[in-house]
């Protein structure tokens, strides 16, 4: 990054058209035209870099991807329709039948579904370690292990994994180290600095930041991205130009938004720490967080997700949600609107209690995605719901 984060996020735009527009236009076009047969041939042969067809590239998706590449300190990237299509395409492009993955068990629900339901169809197995079992990682690596995968902070328990430590293990064993950096955003944490080969985002969350569109992106080294790009070009999980246009505009305000989200989240976490209905509060930048030191090492701010354990378990969690008045009960996160979820009765309700506990989801765990409303109003809503 040659300029500061905020400047790069704002000043990287597609080339101006003949109309000299100030703000990037929306290029809703499925294909692009050629001057003659020779230009068309050279473009398809990739002797000439240009847009051919929006399943491959489009000026809006390229603008969005270029910003993330710069923000993450990557060499190249590719945009996808959703975070899950970025994750699936990345694994599908890089793995062969019979390969093996080592992953932290605390991963996004659908990622867990991919590991346990779909990849096994191609004889690709995944070995899990728990967040507090990082010392076991090396013992899980086999001859056919190809990818080491983590998310940090984790969803929904907000645990932190040591990127540098895991990055070094990946390097020693020549594994592709992939990090889902969705909860942190590149403003807070840049995993490539700690040895990640690829970084994946669901752009649906803080990147959009206003709960409007879905999107995903993978960035990293040029040779790996090339394989992922060719897979996507052939199989079609492309981000729509409209979504890319919305997301690229949103990135212009990522730094200000994330700063404010984190300020509000820290205040909510401090309030919860003092409340007697609350057993444990987990927020990466509270000293009481079990991995506080690691969080401080690799993150610039604590993020916008606060998890807490309400006294009284499952029933208390459900009652709390029922009494919430202003905040939304919804599955999204990273929105301007504060969102409250109770994972054990909703998103993770289909897991066994044992499986839930292994990923830090106790019966009374509540997850708050702290939004951008005035923090006093967020806290009053939580306070009145806790009283009941």
Ligand X SMILES: *Cc1c(COP(=O)(O)O)cnc(C)c1O
User: What are the residues binding ligand X (CB under 6 A)?
Assistant: 82-84, 108, 151, 155, 180, 182-183, 202, 204-205, 214, 216
Measured distance CA(148)–CA(48) in Å, rounded: 35
Q: Please identify, using beta-carbon distances, which residue of 153 and 167 lies nearer to ligand X.
A: 153
Measured distance CA(143)–CA(151) in Å, rounded: 24
Measured distance CA(21)–CA(166) in Å, rounded: 46
Measured distance CA(300)–CA(323) in Å, rounded: 34
Cβ 331 to ligand X, closest distance in Å? Answer: 9
Closest alpha carbon to 308 in 328, 286, 333, 326 = 286
Nearest residue to ligand X by CB is: 83
DSSP category for residue 118: I
- Residues whose CB is less than 8 angstroms from the CB of residue 147 and which lie 6 or more positions away in sequence, other chains included: 91, 94, 95, 99, 101, 102, 103, 175, 176, 177, 178
Q: Please identify, using beta-carbon distances, which residue of 183 and 194 lies nearer to ligand X.
A: 183
Q: Give the Å distances, CA to CA, from 356 to 109, 135, 179, 346.
A: 11, 21, 22, 12
Measured distance CA(379)–CA(272) in Å, rounded: 9
Q: Are 267 and 115 in contact (CB under 8 A)?
A: no
Closest alpha carbon to 365 in 327, 318, 322, 324 = 318
Cβ 151 to ligand X, closest distance in Å? Answer: 5
Cβ 121 to ligand X, closest distance in Å? Answer: 20
Cβ 198 to ligand X, closest distance in Å? Answer: 14
Q: Please identify, using beta-carbon distances, which residue of 305 and 324 lies nearer to ligand X.
A: 305
Cβ 220 to ligand X, closest distance in Å? Answer: 16
Q: Please identify, using beta-carbon distances, which residue of 209 and 386 lies nearer to ligand X.
A: 209
Q: Please identify, using beta-carbon distances, which residue of 14 and 103 lies nearer to ligand X.
A: 103
Q: Please identify, using beta-carbon distances, which residue of 167 and 303 lies nearer to ligand X.
A: 303
Cβ 379 to ligand X, closest distance in Å? Answer: 24
Cβ 191 to ligand X, closest distance in Å? Answer: 13
Q: Please identify, using beta-carbon distances, which residue of 205 and 261 lies nearer to ligand X.
A: 205
Cβ 25 to ligand X, closest distance in Å? Answer: 25
By CB atoms closer than 10 A (0-12, 13-18, 19+), residue 143 is exposed
Q: Please identify, using beta-carbon distances, which residue of 207 and 386 lies nearer to ligand X.
A: 207
Strands 216-220 and 76-80: antiparallel
Measured distance CA(116)–CA(109) in Å, rounded: 11
């Amino acid at each position: 990054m040659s300029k500061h984060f905020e400047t790069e996020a704002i000043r990287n735009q597609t080339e101006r058209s003949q109309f000299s527009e100030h703000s990037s236009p929306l290029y809703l076009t499925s294909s692009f035209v050629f001057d003659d047969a020779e230009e068309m041939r050279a473009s398809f042969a990739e002797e000439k870099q240009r847009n051919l067809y929006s399943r491959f590239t489009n000026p809006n998706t390229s603008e969005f991807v270029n910003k993330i590449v710069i923000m993450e300190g990557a060499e190249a990237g590719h945009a996808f329709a959703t975070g899950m299509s970025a994750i699936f395409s990345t694994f599908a492009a890089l793995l062969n039948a019979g390969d093996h993955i080592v992953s932290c068990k605390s991963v996004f629900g659908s990622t867990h579904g991919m590991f346990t339901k779909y990849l096994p169809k191609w004889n690709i197995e995944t070995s899990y370690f728990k967040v507090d079992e990082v010392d076991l990682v090396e013992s899980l690596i086999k001859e056919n292990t190809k990818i080491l995968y983590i998310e940090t902070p984790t969803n929904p328990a907000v645990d932190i994994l040591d990127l540098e430590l895991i990055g070094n293990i990946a390097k020693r064993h020549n594994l592709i180290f992939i990090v889902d950096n969705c909860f942190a955003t590149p403003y807070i944490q840049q995993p490539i600095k700690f040895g990640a080969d690829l970084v994946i985002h669901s752009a649906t969350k803080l990147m959009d930041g206003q709960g409007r569109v879905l999107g995903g992106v993978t960035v990293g080294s040029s040779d790996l991205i090339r394989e992922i790009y060719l897979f996507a070009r052939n199989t079609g999980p492309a981000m729509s130009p409209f979504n890319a246009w919305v997301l690229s505009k949103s990135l212009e305000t990522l730094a200000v938004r994330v700063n404010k989200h984190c300020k509000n989240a820290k205040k909510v976490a401090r309030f919860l720490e003092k409340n007697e209905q609350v057993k444990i509060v987990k927020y990466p930048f509270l000293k009481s967080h079990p991995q506080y030191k690691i969080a401080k090492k690799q993150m610039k701010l604590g993020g916008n997700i606060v998890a807490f354990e309400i006294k009284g378990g499952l029933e208390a969690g459900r009652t709390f949600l029922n009494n919430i008045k202003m905040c939304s009960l919804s599955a999204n996160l990273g929105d301007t609107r504060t969102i409250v979820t109770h994972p054990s009765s909703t998103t993770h309700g289909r897991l066994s209690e044992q499986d839930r506990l292994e990923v830090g989801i106790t019966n009374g765990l509540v997850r708050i995605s702290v939004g951008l409303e005035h923090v006093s109003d967020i806290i009053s809503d939580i306070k009145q719901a806790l009283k009941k």
